[in-house]
Amino acid sequence: MSQDGVGVDLETSLGYLLKEASSALRAAMEEVLRPLGMSVTHYSCLELLAQRPGLSNSELARGAFVTRQSMNVLLQALEREGFVTRPAEAPVGKVLPTRLTPRGRRSLEKASAAVRSVEVRMLAGMTEPEQASAFRILQSMIRSLRDGDDRA
């Protein structure tokens, strides 16, 4: 059934391979983050805030690929533990811009280095042109998947 063009051959499916790669990456990240007492979503949140200070809960959620409800749970914990701060009142509208505290920044430093080492390992054995090619290809996939999302 799945050999004759209609189905999806797992052995040759780029979609399956993509999931496999993503899963391997996540596992590798979890492994290096666990000793630091940090989950992948936890790290993602801090990294996003370091690079784009003042992001709102909803924006962080999109950036970390979770729902805003989930991100809110995480943010409350991070706030309680003193890694991030949010104003008590929204400066404008309902949006609460979040920022890293010095403690959050310190905590992120080690994690960021650890994750960076994972990414370096992932890229080991790939030439510069191959990496550039990978970049273009993945972007193409994302664009194609999103384009067909609404229309069609």
Is 103 a binder of a copy of itself (CB under 8 A)? no
Query: Which option in a copy of itself, DNA, none does residue 51 bind, with CB closer than 5 to 8 A by kind?
Result: a copy of itself
Interface residue with a copy of itself, options 4, 6, 88, 102 (CB under 8 A): 6
Interface residue with a copy of itself, options 24, 73, 77, 90 (CB under 8 A): 24
Interface residue with a copy of itself, options 36, 41, 47, 99 (CB under 8 A): 47
List phi, psi (to 5°) of 84: -135, 165
- CA pair distance 148, 107, nearest whole angstrom: 40
- For residue 64 the two structure tokens come to 């970390």
Interface residue with a copy of itself, options 4, 8, 94, 128 (CB under 8 A): 8
* Residue 98, CA distances (Å) to 13, 60, 63, 79, 80 in order: 40, 9, 14, 9, 13
